A and B are shown apart, each in its own frame.
Chain A
Amino acid sequence: MKAPLTAGKGCGEKRHEIFNTQGVEGASTTGKREAKHNMRLRNSSMDGSDGSQLFDDTSATGPGAQGVYRNQQAGPQAAGGLPGQSLLSDPMSNLAMAYGSSLASQGREMVDKNLDRFIPISKLKYYFAVDTVYVGKKLGILVFPYMHENWEVSYQQDIPVAPRFDVNAPDLYIPTMGFITYILVAGLALGTQNRFSPELLGVQASSALVWLIMEVLAVLLSLYLVTVNTDLTTIDLLAFSGYKYVGYVLVHISANIISSAVSLVNHQTLCFSRMILGVVAGLLFGKLAYYLSLLWCCAAIFVFMIRTLRLKLLSEAAAEGKLVRGARNQLRMYLTMSIAAAQPVFMYWLTYHLIR
């Protein structure tokens, strides 16, 4: 390894001499350093030229070709970005769209067919074919069934007439609306007693629904046991059991809203004794109104059920009022009475826990 030369000469020369006069190990490193230095120079020159060619878009060989290719790639992408034009023009996406729409219609057909097997949707539509006049008359009959004379359901070529045309036909609109109103009024009743929380609405709803389902199942079982040849379908039974909800709503409204309105009025009286009397009257009136309306609605629904089921369950002779002997007819009579009697029991059971 030769010693570095004296510092007497110039910088460039010294550097040059250092580069040239160092040993073998030094030479290898200098060689690398030189190669790196040269490479760096070459790269910078390449980048500079590349950048300029990208912007200039010349027709040079390597980088120029790459730049042109990149522009071509960007072209179709830009055209695909505009939604309307390329979708219609591209045959592949056309095919995909046609296939997708046929698949969707197939899926919908399958869903409709399977759903129709479990829930007869076309039959359900019959029960919701109501109008305002029918609803008004039916509500009137539910509350005051004593004046209604003709309870028969009129038929039209073996098919029961839609509820729109016959007041006696069962429908599902009133029970559904009654159920929803019952839940809302129950929430109101709980609210006026400071017992409300949002989960209780769901609890009330599922509880009432479960009682309804159990009652319908019990009635179905008893109908099967007594072997009654009747044309009452399950949905009919559901409708008849659902008419109770109108009674629930009336009872709750009369018990809670009247009492809360009375107490609200009493708060505004200034005289002390008048206030006490007012509050007591409000409480009494609340409970009294509850019991009176409960009695009225229970009697009404009892008579309604008996008169409706009499025509459907009993044989024709018994339905006209003649006394027919025979164990089977007696059994049918008991069945009718018990179905009708279960309604007031349910009404009391499901409303008293909301009254305090």
Chain B
Amino acid sequence: MAFTLYTLIQTAILCTNAIAVLHEERFLSKIGWGVDQGVGGFGDDPGVKAQILNLIRSVRTVMR
């Protein structure tokens, strides 16, 4: 229960790292979360899955 600010920073770094190490070909395409499978139509309703895929791709791009 004794969470410190340092644990918060640690958690943030570990989560960012976990998202950054998801490999594009070996893993994300296999489970249908690849880059080309996320973009739906051009409607104004991307949906939750498209948003998640966008988030993963942008985190990986920034951390490259």
Interface positions of A (Cβ within 8 A of B): 203, 206-207, 209-211, 213-214, 224-227, 328, 331, 353
Contact = CB atoms under 8 A, between A and B. Distances in A.
Interface string B3-25: 11101100100000000000000
B5 A210 contact: yes
B3 A206 contact: yes
A210 B45 contact: no
Given A210-B4, A214-B11, A226-B51, 10 more contacts: A203-B2, A206-B4, A207-B1, A207-B2, A207-B4, A210-B7, A214-B8, A225-B51, A225-B52, A227-B46
A227 B8 contact: no
B55 interface: yes
B48 interface: yes
A224 B45 CA distance: 12
A353 B4 CA distance: 17
A353 B51 contact: no
Nearest to A202: B4
21 contacts: A203-B2, A203-B4, A206-B3, A206-B4, A206-B5, A207-B1, A207-B2, A207-B4, A209-B5, A210-B3, A210-B8, A213-B8, A214-B11, A224-B55, A225-B48, A225-B51, A225-B52, A226-B48, A226-B51, A227-B46, A227-B51
Contacts of B2: 203, 207
Interface of B: 1-5, 7-8, 11, 45-46, 48, 51-52, 55
A224 B47 CA distance: 11
Contacts of B3: 206-207, 210-211
A99 to B, nearest CB: 40
A210 B45 CA distance: 33
User: Per DSSP, are chain A's interface residues mostly helix, strand or loop, or mixed?
Assistant: helix
A353 B8 contact: no
A104 B46 CA distance: 51
The 10 closest A-B pairs by CB, nearest first: A210-B3, A225-B51, A207-B3, A210-B8, A206-B4, A203-B2, A225-B48, A206-B5, A207-B2, A353-B1
A224 B51 CA distance: 8
B55 A331 contact: no
B40 to A, nearest CB: 12
A227 B5 contact: no
Contacts of A210: 3-5, 7-8
Nearest to A222: B48
A203 B5 CA distance: 10
Contacts of B4: 203, 206-207, 210
